[in-house]
Each structure stands twice: as structure tokens, then as C-alpha cells.
Amino acid sequence: MLDIDRISPTRRPFGAAAGYHVWSDLLFIHWRIPVSLLQPLLPRELTIDTYDGSAWVGLVPFRMSGVRPWWSPPIWGISSFPETNVRTYVHLNGTAPGVWFLSLDAAQWLAVQLARLGWGLNYHWAKMNVTRRGSTIEYRSRRVFGGAFCHATAEIGDPFSEGLVSGQARIAKPGTVEHFLVERYLLYAVRRGMIFQGQVHHQPYSLFATELRNLNEQLLVANGVEPSQPPCHVIFSPQVNVEVFGLQPVCHCK
């Protein structure tokens, strides 16, 4: 792992937020992937970020709620919906470690259109639901166009025993694989021939040990990623309140 500053992006940037979200019931499912398979899927300006010599791809289903710009309250029927991300981890010239979204599926047509147009992100409209019964949580998703699907069931366990204690929560310790995978506050997108960087801010994720009981999905293959092994890391976080800051151009695409 490169000697990259991974703490500065976790700090809140100056200025007012452009919008607000609540992210709930986040299930982080990760695979190790050879760098050589992922790097060609990125803009040339971005470099795969590695941990323990490997690139990583994450499948992250969760719930979005309270989605709103700074000037508006949440709107019933629009501001809450499930989402599923397929993502990998990148840096820009050895700095600013962040997320590159291979795809994002959401169960809200208007949110999909706005995110594709305004943020340049690869959103897809999908029919989705998240069901929780006690410690068991189930995620189902199927794209409206193309039909790529995801079905995952997990059993949520005790607070993550190897994390740092923060109040009554257990959070990822800097330098660990959990911190590398989940504590990501920068994202990259391409718009109008430019690489843009966006930032979010929230308290560190409260983490819970989790057992993946079932996974049947086509989203990784739909993005050109075919893991040769089952996922090797799974963890759960119940909720974070998120401030979203606007995109900033960082360089031209070659």
C-alpha cells in the first residue's frame, strides 16, 4: 500500500454542503481483484489503489433517505430509495484516495437521471428492496433495462471486535483493511472531458461483524469484472448522516 494520506479526506471540508443524505443498512461485500484486470476500466488519469498488493472491488447495497439539496426539505416519494454500488478504489498521482464507481443502481428514476446528468455517474434504474428481520438482512435488485440483478442475504453479528472504540461504536482503525475499504470520502467522475472530484463527510462508520449467507449477482460481470474467488471480506454498518459537497475539476482527460 502506497504511503498515501488517508486521514485528510475524512475531515470535513470548509464551506457549506450542497446537499444531505442518510445512508442506512450498508452491507460492504469485497473481492480481491488483480490490478491488471481493473486498471483498463479507469480513466488514464486515475490509478488503482491497492491494499496488501491487491486491488479490491466492492458491492455495496444500502438504503438512501433524506436525499435533498441544501435549499429544500426531503420530498416524499423521491428522497428515499434503495441503492447498490459496484466500486473500486483509486488515487490521483499518489494523493486523494477515493472511489471510482463502476456502476450505481437506484430504485428512483428521477434520482438516476439527475445523477447521470449532473454528476456524470454510471447510474441505472432498478427495482429494489431491502428487508430486515431481526439480525437477518436481505437485498434484492434487478435493472429495469438489461435485467442485471443482485440478491444478497447476510446475518449481522456483534460490533466489530477489532475496531477502535468510539463512544458505543466500533470503527475502523487507520491502516487496516477495514479502514481502506469503508472510510472513503472522495469520489471521481468524468464530465465534459474533465476528471472531477467530489467529497462527502460523515462520522466514521460503526461496524458490525457479518456473515454472508447467500449471494447471487450479475452486477460485477455487467461491469467487466469476473472474480475467480468468492468475496473475502464482508462487514455491515447501520447508518451515517451525510453531507455532500459539489464536484470540483481536477484535470483534463487525455
Domain edges within the chain:
17-252
Is the pTM higher than 0.85? The answer reads yes
| Pair type for strands 208-217 and 194-201 | unpaired
Distance between CA atoms of residues 141 and 149, nearest Å: 5
**H helix or E strand, kind and range, residue 98:** strand 95-106
Q: In this predicted structure, what is the pLDDT of residue 2? A: 57
CATH number 2.40.400.10 is the correct assignment for the domain at 17-252 = yes
Torsion of CA 187, 65, 86, 160, to 10 degrees: 90
Percentage of the chain beyond pLDDT 90 is 88
Mean pLDDT of 217-221: 97
Distance between CA atoms of residues 35 and 88, nearest Å: 10
Q: Where do runs of H (alpha helix) occur along 120-212?
A: 177-182
Q: In this predicted structure, what is the pLDDT of residue 239? A: 98
Mean pLDDT of 237-242: 98
- Is residue 52 within 8 A of residue 1, CB to CB? The reply is yes
pLDDT in tens, 89-145: 999 999 999 999 999 999 999 999 999 998 999 999 999 999 999 999 999 999 999
Q: In this predicted structure, what is the pLDDT of residue 168? A: 78
Supply 158's cell numbers. Answer: 456483534
Confidence of residue 1 (pLDDT cuts 50, 70, 90): very low
How many CB atoms within 10 Å of residue 168? 7
